[in-house]
Amino acid sequence: MHFIVPVSFREIVKEIVDTTYLTHGIFYYPAKFIPHVPHYCVRRFCPEGGWVLDPFAGSGTVGLEAVLARRNAILIDINPLLSIYVDTKINYRYANIENASVLNALHQMFTWGEPCEPDWKNLDYWYPAEVLQLLKRYWGWIHSRDIQDPHMHIIRPALMRANRRFSWADHKTAKLCRSKYKTHEMQKFLKQENWCEHIQNFITKKALENASRLRLLTQSLSDSPCRAIALAGVDSTAVDLHDCPQIDAVITSPPYLQAQEYLRTFKLDLFWTGVSEAKVRELMRLEIPYRKATEPFATPTYTRVYEQLHRADLQAMLHSYFFHTTRALENAATTLKRGGFLCVFVGNPTVDGKEVETWRIVVEHFERNGFVVHTVLRDDIKSRQLFRKKRKNKNPRGMESEYLLVMKKL
């Protein structure tokens, strides 16, 4: 019997009034944590100076909240872009970079003459030829920079925003796909004489906004020795964590059942930032829940739901999801100190009209594997922006509530 405590994280963590505060707002990422949840967990379940680990780190929300609270973080994600998010959004520490110097760097980039050639076949499927030439030069400048160049950290995320905005891909949907609407919009855009100036203005605006966010981050962390370490492009179910420091709390929000494919979503950023097509294909085969389970999985609630599903494809998805998600959590939990906390933020999605009580299945699995339940908190529907633009889905996972499940390692 577990008591579920209703809460509102937005009420508990009143000091966060804007979910995109500081550098949380620099990168787009679907189904991000609202920072309130890791803010609460980090302070409650990890002592100052301690370590947290997130095996599904996404854009690094847990890492930023940990470092802001003077804790250290190890962040793991199958998405290779995590290393860029962490280097910029969390670990950036440069003294004041004035706007004039950002504008100077932008001018260098806009007039750069050495294009880069991403190791991908069908770039022209995603871009009009003239935009492609432009982006190749801009990304050529980024690749010519040193990793220690603060201007590169300020400008690269701005360029990542432009990657999709000025492509044939519909930037208003989460999935990467071409649409009639976007083709029409881009054709109209390119008819303007000054289309190139528009792109440059877009990038400049974003870069100056990033510079201001990064100045604030540097100020906030000026005397903090804490850092985040990224293990990017890594499968959490199999990564060897033996050399990891002892962890006080694992804090994570796993992908959800019937999740979108993150690697496919970020294909454009991946090829511009230098990840090869072959590498992305290899990683896509490891993404949860798009891979087969290799061994049986069972808990009482899981088995009941499984038996209620009458479609073999949905049964296979359920199996794959719980098998691999619990494996990744177990692997992450091997790093936990005795008495350490496993905090998992999940919803109860609906599959074929049947509710899947994810938190209960996770509890049943871990209670048999050396954990006891500490608390189950239920946060009722809060809007989480899954997609670009205005489509704020009140209930993005098709769920009534989301649950913060906290378990303690025996």
Ligand X SMILES: C[S@@+](CC[C@H](N)C(=O)[O-])C[C@H]1O[C@@H](n2cnc3c(N)ncnc32)[C@H](O)[C@@H]1O
Q: Which of residues 291-320 bind ligand X (CB under 6 A)?
A: none
61 lies in the site for ligand X, by CB under 6 A: yes
Nearer to ligand X, 79 or 299 (CB): 79
Nearer to ligand X, 153 or 397 (CB): 397
**Minimal CB distance to ligand X: which residue?**
58
Identity at 71, one-letter amino acid code: R
Q: How many CA atoms lie within 13 A of 254 on its CB side?
A: 33
- Angle between the 195-220 and 150-165 helix axes, to the nearest 10 degrees? 140
Q: Is 376 helix (H, G, I), strand (E, B) or coil?
A: strand
**d(Cα 361, Cα 127) in Å, to the nearest integer?**
44
Q: How far is the CB of 317 from ligand X (least distance, A)?
A: 14
Read off the tokens for 294: 């290799």
399 lies in the site for ligand X, by CB under 6 A: no
255 lies in the site for ligand X, by CB under 6 A: yes
Q: Is 377 helix (H, G, I), strand (E, B) or coil?
A: strand
Q: How far is the CB of 378 from ligand X (least distance, A)?
A: 18
Which residue from 32, 39, 151, 213 is in contact with ligand X, where contact means CB under 6 A? Answer: 32
**d(Cα 140, Cα 114) in Å, to the nearest integer?**
6
Which residue from 9, 29, 166, 272 is in contact with ligand X, where contact means CB under 6 A? Answer: 29
Which residue from 287, 357, 379, 402 is in contact with ligand X, where contact means CB under 6 A? Answer: 287
Residue where the block lists tokens 């190791």? 119
Q: How far is the CB of 259 from ligand X (least distance, A)?
A: 7
Q: How far is the CB of 397 from ligand X (least distance, A)?
A: 10
Q: Is 177 helix (H, G, I), strand (E, B) or coil?
A: coil
Q: How far is the CB of 281 from ligand X (least distance, A)?
A: 15
Torsion angle in degrees (nearest 10) through CA of 308, 310, 316, 317: -70
Q: How many CA atoms lie within 13 A of 343 on its CB side?
A: 26
**d(Cα 256, Cα 349) in Å, to the nearest integer?**
8
58 lies in the site for ligand X, by CB under 6 A: yes
**Site stretch for ligand X (CB under 6 A), options 70-78, 174-182, 207-215, 364-372:** 70-78
65 lies in the site for ligand X, by CB under 6 A: no
Q: How far is the CB of 149 from ligand X (least distance, A)?
A: 25
Q: How far is the CB of 244 from ligand X (least distance, A)?
A: 15
Which residue from 40, 262, 302, 371 is in contact with ligand X, where contact means CB under 6 A? Answer: 262
Identity at 176, one-letter amino acid code: L
**d(Cα 86, Cα 98) in Å, to the nearest integer?**
22
Q: For ligand X, what does the binding mask look like between residues 317 and 346, x meaning CB under 6 A?
A: -----------x------------------
236 lies in the site for ligand X, by CB under 6 A: yes
Q: Contact 359/399 with Cβ under 8 angstroms?
A: no
Read off the tokens for 90: 């969390």
52 lies in the site for ligand X, by CB under 6 A: no
Question: What number of chain residues touch ligand X (CB under 6 A)?
Answer: 22
Q: How far is the CB of 85 from ligand X (least distance, A)?
A: 8
Q: Where are the alpha helices (DSSP H) in 221-311?
A: 262-265, 267-272, 277-284, 300-308
83 lies in the site for ligand X, by CB under 6 A: no
Kindly state the helix (H) or strand (E) to which residue 339 belongs, with its residue range.
strand 336-347
358 lies in the site for ligand X, by CB under 6 A: no
Q: Which of residues 142-171 bind ligand X (CB under 6 A)?
A: none
Residue where the block lists tokens 């022209």? 124
Nearer to ligand X, 127 or 345 (CB): 345
Read off the tokens for 318: 């359920």
**Site stretch for ligand X (CB under 6 A), options 162-170, 183-191, 215-223, 280-288:** 280-288
Read off the tokens for 288: 């949860």
Which residue from 78, 154, 229, 247 is in contact with ligand X, where contact means CB under 6 A? Answer: 78
The length of the chain is 410
Residues that bind ligand X (CB under 6 A): 29, 31-33, 56, 58-59, 61, 76-79, 235-237, 253, 255, 262, 286-288, 328
